[in-house]
Every structure is written in structure tokens, then in C-alpha cells.
Structure 1
């Protein structure tokens, strides 16, 4: 962008081109592969196309293996990105082009695909679209779009089946909860709710899913709510390998509707639903039996606030008492429960509480309002949601935490 050369670098346009030439030539002479990122290229092309093209020409002539055209400010739209890439290819046919987009206009993925259509051979992006400001092009969408929709082998198709696992692992590493509605890899990317919809899905999945979820390592997910029919219940139960007859499915559906009338949101809590199905089949969880718990918060000298929880449970017939401190009462209660269980179930240490949300259901009741606690727990391989509802937020949290741990132990043992 000539504006950046004169105002940010504070040099002449001729010196800007000379710096590109000298830098690329030096690196080539040192035996390096050189990919030249043309920062702010699309803004520069709009402002002064001749100068922008001369920079691409200089980098190419000096030996750059790739010239990456960057929409650094993220304001481009697919039509302008496509036209600019096409014009650049025509003006500098020797240049081998790539694309680097940002999502400030909400078009990073669309702009990337438009650039590919216009002739770029390299794509830059980030898993889950992470990046400065509003993020970079999301490789979790770009890759399946290219491989599955366009037939371009950006990566071997069989490796695409690791996409969902990779996405969730990286979200876990950077400690950013992945949006359940994230395309291709989100928990709800292939979720289905309405009764007739899910009934038809059981017969012809391609009628309601744009790809086979397994191609990106995801799965079809039946969401259960008051709108569900028996087919939804049966399909959701099969996801966990649980056989349910029609009579039991009808009973489960009645229970779901009763719970949702009390404020539960079963569609967002697949772990809670799994336990509900198991209980309807006569199962009771064998891992622990609660006797009591106590939680208090203490403000200490200096302003430090510490929460402490003591829990008394029976584990494999033995009475266990455990006490733990935490950042808050729920964190303390979660830690105390794990401490009580770790002797009998060491794998409980692999469980992580990855999301915790609270909603007041009847705000007019003030501090006496019923609260709904929805949390997500993970064992590092998959995640599940559980829910609790009560006038006492600690009790609602306990219900969600305890059910989350039970589901985790079912997965791990």
C-alpha cells in the first residue's frame, strides 16, 4: 500500500520497491525459500493499483516462491477480492499467488474461496478462525469447503476426519470455549431437533445434512426438547448405544416435557439426557452416594476471597470426607468431589469443567429466583453438557457438576 510506504515507513515509493527486491534476493542467496506476504495489498490495489502490482512484480523477479496477497484490514468482499486476484494474475503472470484474509467484514472464509476460484494456489488461515481483532480465515471451514465441496485436495481427504478433534483440542489449549454452532466442527453443527425432522433423518440422513459428519470427524446429534417425538428419543439413545423400546421412549419424553416446564433445557444438556435414559431403563449410578456437602466463602485480611467446600460421600461402600478450596463455591465443590473420588476412580483427574453458565429464570423474584446452571465437562476427547435447576444456585450447580462427573466416569471406566 503506497500510503503505508510514505506514512508508516516514511520513505519513497521507489525505496519501498528496492527494499522488497533486496530482502527477497538476500534470502534467496542464503538458500532460503521465500514467501512474500504483501501486507495491505487489497487496500493498496484500490488506492494505487500500479504501485501494488509493481511490488508483486519486484518480489517475483527477485525470486519469491509465493506472493501472498493480504487483506490485512479485513474489509474486502468476495467480488472485489476475486477481481483483484484476477487482475494481479493477468498483470504479473509469473507470480504464484496465495491469499491471507481477516474476518472484519465477516467474509474471511468467503474471500478465501473467492481467491482460490480466481487462481491462488496457497491459503493462509488459523484453526477455529483465531487471530487478531475478529480473526483470520477459519481453516475448520476453509479446508472442508475446498476438499469436500470443491474437490481440491488441500490435505488428504482421510486426514480431514481429524478436523473436529483438532479444533476442540486447540480450543482447549488456548482456553477459549468453542462455539457449539461453529460450522463443521461445532457440537451443534449436525444437530437436529424437530420431531418429523429427526424421524426422516433416521431414514435418509442426506435429506437434512449437507455432508456426512464423519468426513470431518463430527457426529449427528439428536437434540431432545419438548418438541421431540419418540423417533428423536430413540435416535438419541442409540447414539450412546442404549436400547430403548417405544414404551420407555414415551415415558422419557413425558419426563423431558415435565423437566422443561420446570426450567430445564434438556436440548443443551446431552449428558443429563443420557443419565435420564439410563435411569428410565432401571439403572442407578454406582460411583458415589451423597451424604451431605457444605460450602462457605471467607473474605480474609487483605481482600482475598476464598471458597471452601466439604463433601461427605459413600464410595464403593466406604464413607469419604473431603475438603477443598476453590476460586469460588462451585470450583471448591467440584474439587472436593474429585478429591473424594480419586482414590477409587483415578481417571476422574482427567475431567475438566470447560464452561459454566447461569441464568435467572424468574427475575421478578429477585434474589429468591430460580436459577438454571448449564455446564460443559470434557475428558479431552469429547465434551458433554449437564444442567441443574433450583432456587439455591449452589444446589443447582451441584446437580450439574455431579451429573457431569457421573457421565465422565461412564466414559472413562
Structure 2
């Protein structure tokens, strides 16, 4: 099986994405996650760029990596200066990583107009920087910045830049589509030319400005590249980078390449959720392989086909990447879908059972009231459990009170909530403030329950949607609230309906907490079996 090295740049290129800001602790957690996944290299940032990165490189030395090599990032030496005197070069050396990734100019326009030096001086900058790090025992990657634009503008000079890196001892030439504007066929042709010209490893680094980052990376491998750079779930500057979670799935499951240890493929999804959690973003539902909707079926014909032969409507078994198959409850899902859901909880119930008929009738009643279970399977599961007596109430919300007011000019809080809960006869009363009544209620309820269930500290809402069902009744109309929650490892959704938006939100919120506690209990019981 041919090997393709995976070089993860989540902590460097990913950190340049709008809205992303990693703390040192965040970066250390992602280093551990990427190493456990089994990537070959982790690009951790520029050690000389800011105090945060200086602290990170100091602390990361204490982490034992089993699969990945930590890589420092920086530029070639500055123009007209000795390489050993360049502050950026010295900081990368002091980071004491096994490998370094050095970017340099390969587009003549950038050389003359952006860094404003001569073409010959730029070649010296590349060669001397490569040689310096090789002399100091480093594995060296040359990131040829703007390579595809440079090659199209002046192929002779772009190749001279690569030749200078090879002369300096570069271990790998990484062709960068820095502007993200290259097309797959030209990436293939240009990469093939480079692979035929040089005997060292060739890599690819693409951006997604034309939506081609994954396709361009795949085509580079087809042309002979054996090293791929990207970010784990694709976020990065502008439109993002090549999505490594997709590329790993494509190469290893579709093309037969070895990217990560085979046994780690099933952690592809959980790692994506973890990285999204640390980055404080919501993982895109429709992300290939790892998204919540990647193996979700709604149409009755699709569901029927998957039940008979999963490959009829799925390109792989979701379990291979640690994802799960979902059948949505909807008007097009069909009766068989409901029966399948019931069977997961109570296998003894058949389509002819009286319980099955009662549950279906109950669902119809709730749908008439405005409930919709598409995307809210967790609430649907609780309904089945309650009807079959397979439900445990973990707490009772005895009462709550919400106070809203116009916030002070400098305050972000506009509401206060007080709640009293009862857990097995023990009461807890608490209050919290929030940005709106639902936010305040959410914080207060979790705060009270964390006294009894500390694991709820892991849980937070990732999405909150409100739909008005009876618009003709204006503000008196019914609303449906859909909540999505996560504990960093799993994601689930619940729904509530009422003419009172606070009550509808509370119904969904209580169900969300109950689902978490119920699943934790069942996992604990399975562990003892």
C-alpha cells in the first residue's frame, strides 16, 4: 500500500481563519488529538511571531508524540542578510522541532514587487535557508508559495526556485496554491512536471477559494505527490484550506493509500467533532465522511434501499469512519422508519404490536400539534421510551422565574433566571444571568443540575432555531424550537412546541439534558456488563 504523508496545519493555517483564536491550552489539546489520529506532521506555528506561540513551543516539549513530528513554520531568511543572523530563522531553530516548514517565493512577480529584491537574491535566500536547517539536523520542507501562479507566469523561474531548495538540501518540495485559484487539471499537469524533474518528495498545499482544494489535492497525488498539507476540517484563511478529514477518507478508503493507521479511521468523526469543539465552531452537517448528515436518509425509497442493502444509497459503511446512519422522521420517511426506531429500544415489538400502533398514533397527535421530528430524533426516542416504560426521570423542575429588563449600556446581559430543581428529594435553587431569557434559563438550569450531575459541564448548545407555526396569529402563534447540543464527542437535537417561546425552549432544553444523562447511564451500565 502506497503511503501519503498527512501534514496538519490546523494550528497554523487554520488559526488564520476568521473567528478562530486558539489559546495555548487549545493548541496543546489539538496536538494530542492529531497525534492520536496518526498524522505524520503537525505544523504548530511560527515560534517567533508572538508570545503565545513562544509559550506553546516551550510547553509542547513535555508532550510525548507517538505518531507525528512537530513542525515549526517560518520564512526564508530576509534579503541581504546572513541566514544565521535572521531573527525568524533563529527562533525556528530554538523551537527545537524535528522538522521545519520554510516558505519562500516562487512567483517572480512576488519577488520583484512584493518583497522587492532581485530574482537571484531570492534563489540565494531559499538555498541558504534550506542548507542552514539541514546543517542543524532538521527535516526540511520547502513551501513554494504561489507556485502554481508563478509557474503559469514564468515556469522557468518557478522551477529554479525549487532547484535552489533542492540544492540547499530540502527533503520535500511543497507546491502551494496560495491564492486558491488553480484548477484540477492544471494542478495535475504542473505537479507531474515537478515530480518528473526532481527526485525528492513532492507535496501539495491548496486553498479552497474556488471550491477545489480537496479535488486539487487528489489530483496532485494522482500526479505523484506523496505529501498533503491541509487543516483537519478545512477552516483557514479566506475560504479555507484542503479538508484533511475528507482527503484521508478519499485516499485511504477509495484509493488504497495509507494515510493514518488503519485502526484510527474509525476516529475520523470524533476527531472532527473534537477539533470543532476546541475551535468553538459548529461542524458543518454536510461535511463528507464526518458530518452529521453524511449518512442521513429522509426519503422512504432511500431508507428502504439502505435497510435492504446499505451500499444502495451509501458509498461506504459509516462505521468505518466512526459516523452513524440516521433515518429522519418526516412525512416522506415511511412507517418502516418508525418501526426501526422502536426496534432499537424495544426489539421485541413488531409492526403488528399494539404498542407500535399506539406510538405511531401518538406521533401523529404530536405532529398535529406542531412537532416535527426530522432532525430531532432524540426527542422522538424519549417519546418511545416514555410510552414503553423505559424512561428514567433524572430531575424535576419545580419552578422557575425569569426577569427581563433593558440592560445597562456596558452590560451584555438582559435577563435573569431563577430555578429550583429536585433530584431524588434533594432540592437545589440557583440563579443566573444571560443574554436573553432562554440563555439565562439554560445557564441557571445547568448550574443547578451540575451539583448532582457534574458531566453536564461538558454540554452546551450549538444551535437554537425558532419557527413560527401559526403566523396568522402573530405574536400569539405557536412556535417550534429546535435545539442542538454537544458534549464535545456527540451531537443530538431536541424539539419543543408551545404558544410560549420560553416554554417551548424549556421543553427542548429539558429533553436535551435528559438525553445526555440517559446515554451516560446506559454507557456506564454497558461498561459493567
TM over 0.5: yes
Match of 2:170 in 1: 64
In 2: Cα distance, 1:243 partner to 1:6 partner? 76
1:241–1:184 Cα change, 3 Å: farther
1:383 aligns with 2:491: yes
Match of 2:328 in 1: 223
Map 1:185-264; keep pairs closer than 5 Å.
185-239=290-344, 244-246=349-351, 247=353, 248-264=355-371
Match of 1:309 in 2: 417
Please report the RMSD computed on the Cα atoms of aligned residues, expressed in angstroms: 2.0
1:43 Cα deviation after fit? 0.5
Structure 1 counterpart of 2:183, from 74, 77, 93:
77
Please give the per-residue CA displacement for 1:208-260, whole angstroms capped at 9, x wherever unaligned. Answer: 21111111111111211122223212323455676543243444344434434
1:395 aligns with 2:488: no
Kept after mapping to 1: 8 A contact 2:398/2:422:
yes
Of structures 1 and 2, the one scoring higher in RCO (CA 8 A, sep 6+) is: 2
In 1: Cα distance, 2:356 partner to 2:238 partner? 47
1:39 Cα deviation after fit? 0.4
Match of 1:353 in 2: 461
Match of 1:295 in 2: 402
Kept after mapping to 2: 8 A contact 1:256/1:266:
no
Q: TM-score, normalised by structure 2?
A: 0.74
Please give the per-residue CA displacement for 1:351-393, whole angstroms capped at 9, x wherever unaligned. Answer: 2222222233455544344332211112332111011222322
Map 1:107-126; keep pairs closer than 5 Å.
107-126=212-231
Structure 1: give runs of 5+ residues left out of the alignment: none
Instruction: Say which SS state the counterpart of residue 398 (structure 2) adopts.
Output: strand
1:136 aligns with 2:252: no
1:243–1:308 Cα change, 3 Å: farther
Instruction: State how many pairs are aligned.
Output: 412
1:31–1:349 Cα change, 3 Å: closer
In 1: Cα distance, 2:303 partner to 2:185 partner? 38
1:180 Cα deviation after fit? 1.3
Match of 1:267 in 2: 374
1:42 aligns with 2:148: yes
Instruction: Say which SS state the counterpart of residue 34 (structure 1) adopts.
Output: strand
Structure 2: give runs of 5+ residues left out of the alignment: 1-106, 522-529
Match of 1:23 in 2: 129
Q: TM-score, normalised by structure 1?
A: 0.93
1:362–1:70 Cα change, 3 Å: farther
Match of 1:150 in 2: 255
Match of 1:336 in 2: 444
